[in-house]
Amino acid sequence: MFDNIWFQILVFPGLVFLLAWTFFVFYFARKTLAYIHKRVGPHFNGPAGSLQTIYDIFKLLTKENITPKTADPYLFNIIPLVTPIVAALPVILIPWTPLMHNGVVLDTNYGVLGLVVLIGVEPFLLFLTGFGSNNKYSFLGGMRVLAQMLSMETPFFLAALSPAILFGTMNLHDIMYSNTWLTTLILLPGAIIFIIAMLGILEQPPFNIPEAEQEIVYGFYTEYSGTNYVLLKFAEFTEILVVSAAAVTLFFGGYRGLFFDSFFCLFLKIVLIAIVMVAIRASNPRLRLDQMLKFAWSWLVPLAVLNIVWIIFAKLYILGA
C-alpha cells in the first residue's frame, strides 16, 4: 500500500498527511502558546477546541479573494498556487516510515542536495508575492525576505553538509542509519547551527522580520485574503514540517527509535523541535534587520565553517576513516 504511487501522492506522505499536519501544528502552536501566555486558547469547538483550526481554515476558504487594483494579477494569484507545491516537493526525499522501500518515495543518492535546494527556493517565491502585491508594506516585506534568505541560507547549507561529509554519502536513508550516539554528539554543533538558521529560513521569532506586524503590517502577506492566504499559510506549515523533518533526519536519526523504528518516532522528534520553536517564540522579541544580518554573517557563517573543519577533524581522528 505504502509503495503505491497514488497512495503516496494523495494520502501519505502527500496531500492528506500534509493537510492533517497543517491542522495539527496550527492547533498545537495555538494551544502551547496559550498555555505559556496563561490563556486558554481554542476551547469551544470540538474536544479541547481541536476543531477550531479546521473551522478557521474553511472560513478562510469561503471568503472572497481580493486582488488589489494596483497588483499584478497574474503574479499575485499564481504564486500562492506554486508556493505550496514547491514547499511540498521535498517530502518525497525524506524517509518517513520503514513501511516504504528504503523509507522514501524517491530513493536517490543526492537526497541532501535536493533537500537544501528545494528548501532554498521557497523564500524567493515569498519575495515574489511581495513584489506582485505592489504595496509598500508587501514590497518591504519581500525585500526583507530576500536579505534574510541570503544571509541565513549560507549557514543552513553548510550545516546540512556536515552529516554528508561525516558519513561520506548524500543518501538520506544511509545517513539516518549511519547515525550512532557518538556521531550524534559529533554532529551536535552542526545541529544547533542548523536549527538557528532554520528559524531564520522559516521566519520564526526572533527572526520573524519579514512579517513584522508592528513594523510593516504583515509583510508580504498584507494584501492576501481568502483562499490565497490559506494556500500561503499551508505552504508555510508544510515548510515547517519539511525543515524540521530534515533536521531530525540529518542529525537525530530520523524515524529510528530506541526500541522500534516507526513513523511515530520521527513525529515525536518533530514535535520536540516544534516545542523548542514555540518556547523561543514565547520568550524572545524580534531582532532588527541589521542585527540579524550582523549575527548571521559575523557569527553564524564563521561558526558553520568552523563546524565543517571540526567534522573533517572528527572524521579523520575520532572515527578514524
Partner 1 sequence: MEAIKNVLGKYENEYIEDYKPTWVKAKFKNPKDLLNIVKDLKEVGVETCSTVSPTDFIDENKIEVNYFLEDLINKKNVWLKFDLPRELEECKIDSITPLMPSADWHELEAYSTYGVKFEGHPNLRYFLISADYFGKFPFRKDFDWKKHEESLIQNIDDITSEWLDEYEENKKTLPKDGSETVLHWGPTHPASGPIRLVVGVDGENIKWVDPDIGYVWRALEHLVERKDFVGAITSVERICFMDNPNPMICYSEAVEEIAGKEITRFAKLMRVLLGEIGRCASHLISMGGFFGNAGLHTFVMWTMDIREYFLDVLEDYSGARIATASVEPGGVRYPMPDNWLETLEKAIKKYEDTVPDMLDIFINNPLMKTRAINTAKISREDVITNYMAGPIARASGVKLDVRIDEPYAGYDEIEMDYVTCENGDVYDRLYIFFKELNQSMDIMKQAIAKIKEGIEKGEMNPKKDHLVRMPRRMPAGEAVTRVEWARGEMLMHLVTGEKATSPYRLKLKAPSVNHTMVLDSLLRGKTLSDIPLIYGSMHICQGDLDR
| Interface contacts to partner 1, rule CB under 8 A | 36-39, 136-137, 140, 143, 205-206, 208-209, 212-217, 282-291
Query: Dihedral sign, CA of 199, 202, 205, 206?
Result: positive
Question: How many Cα atoms within 13 Å fall on the side-chain side of residue 251?
Answer: 25
Query: Dihedral sign, CA of 10, 13, 14, 17?
Result: positive
Q: What angle do CA 116, 142, 152 make, to 5 degrees?
A: 35
Task: Give the number of other CB atoms < 10 A from CB of residue 39.
Answer: 11
Alpha-carbon span 263 to 103, nearest angstrom: 10
Name 81's Cβ contacts closer than 8 Å, sequence gap at least 6: 231
Task: Measure CA 171 to chain center.
Answer: 20
DSSP 238-295: HHHHHHHHHHHHHHS-TT--SS---HHHHHHHHHHHHHHHHHHHHH-PPPPHHHHHHH
Toward partner 1, which CB reaches closer, 71 or 160?
71
Toward partner 1, which CB reaches closer, 63 or 286?
286
Q: How far is the CB of 284 from partner 1 (least distance, A)?
A: 5
Q: How far is the CB of 309 from partner 1 (least distance, A)?
A: 28
Toward partner 1, which CB reaches closer, 59 or 288?
288
Toward partner 1, which CB reaches closer, 131 or 137?
137
Toward partner 1, which CB reaches closer, 62 or 214?
214
Toward partner 1, which CB reaches closer, 198 or 265?
198
Q: How far is the CB of 179 from partner 1 (least distance, A)?
A: 32
Q: How far is the CB of 152 from partner 1 (least distance, A)?
A: 16
Q: How far is the CB of 205 from partner 1 (least distance, A)?
A: 7
Q: How far is the CB of 298 from partner 1 (least distance, A)?
A: 13
Q: Are 95 and 103 in contact (CB under 8 A)?
A: yes
Q: Are 31 and 4 in contact (CB under 8 A)?
A: no
Q: How far is the CB of 211 from partner 1 (least distance, A)?
A: 10
Toward partner 1, which CB reaches closer, 43 or 288?
288
